[in-house]
Amino acid sequence: LQYPAAPSSLPGPQFVPVPISIPEPAPQELEDARRAIGALPIEKLLLEDEDNDTILHIYAAKGLRAHTLAAAERMKPLRRLDAKEHRGKTPLLVAVTARQAAIVHDLIQAGADVNAVDNKGQSALHLAATYGYAQVLQVILSLGFPLDLEMKDFEGHTPLHCAVLAHNSLLRDQGSQALTEEQHRELQQQSRELESCIHLLVHTGASIYSRDVKSNKTVLHYTVQDGNVSLLRYFLELNAFKSKDFVNSKAHGNTALHMAAALPGDKNQKEIIQLLLDHGADPSIRNLDNDQPIHMAPPGKAGDQVRHLLKKGKVTPAFTSC
């Protein structure tokens, strides 16, 4: 498979291209697979193992493209194309998890339900975004089938939320002192893949303003809570209408500035506070405990620096309320 180069950093909003066309499976391989699958008796074709996997699940997991396509062609009229195994995953969801971009393409083209979800409410988009499988995500988004970019899983997260949370998790892992050079390089590559997923979702129409169901957080709150400066800057720049409603939105009563003021100093605290203030964060807003961000600052010298920043912070007139 040939794919365009993915962006390697998050300097600001940019377009990420969709993949070029995926070649057909080798004709002889497909012919042989169709012959083998066609010879299977119906009871063996529909047989499920102890985990409720059909042969379609197994072929997809193993990356056997020709056999997966041949089995999908035969199982579609039997309405078993979206059969679910014990975790609620359809063959398409298994292919996404197995990072089989070509098989994902074939199954969607064959009629697999691209919005099907597993037992955790995760769709193909959620899984690709969570694992940072940019190429798989590009395939799903480029085929033109109706997709719900704002679909929430059972944790209340959209696919964009999942990608941001996964990027935060990698950031925490990268901060570990025990990493070898090889592990560090691997985490950097995974981080770039997740950044590509975030770009793809945003430029396909995923909303940065969506809130999760449980805490009311947006991507802004997620980036602040883990000190993720690069993503925070990216989302603030995407706030094209300079909306204070986005920058000052509350989750559990706290704005992003409240959360930033309470951050440990080693999580880019001062840089984050300054970024938020520069983009219209209001230091006078109070939370449910009637505290302003300045009251969330830790005691001592580190807290004094935060308080100084917040005291001189003013709401920029260029920012408007929706």
Q: Across all residues in the chain, what is the average pLDDT?
A: 89
Question: pLDDT band for position 7 (50/70/90)?
Answer: very low
Q: Please tell me the predicted confidence (pLDDT) of residue 52.
A: 96
Q: What is the mean pLDDT of residues 78-98?
A: 97
How long is the chain? 322
Between 176 and 94, the more confident residue is 94
**Residues 6 or more apart in contact with residue 225 via CB below 8 angstroms:** 168, 259, 263
Distance CA 285, CA 167 (A): 29
pLDDT at residue 105 greater than cutoff 90: yes
Distance CA 211, CA 290 (A): 23
What are 216-253's pLDDT values in tens digits? 999 999 999 999 999 999 999 998 666 778 999 999 99
For residue 63, give Cα distances in angstroms to 1, 25, 118, 160.
13, 12, 20, 27
Question: pLDDT band for position 175 (50/70/90)?
Answer: confident
Question: pLDDT band for position 267 (50/70/90)?
Answer: confident
Distance CA 119, CA 51 (A): 14
Domains with residue ranges and CATH for the chain = 1-207 (1.25.40.20), 209-322 (1.25.40.20)
Using the 8-state DSSP alphabet, how is residue 251 labeled?
A: B
**Residues 6 or more apart in contact with residue 215 via CB below 8 angstroms:** 156, 221, 251, 252
What are 18-60's pLDDT values in tens digits? 545 788 899 999 999 999 999 999 999 999 999 999 999 999 9
pLDDT at residue 4 greater than cutoff 60: no
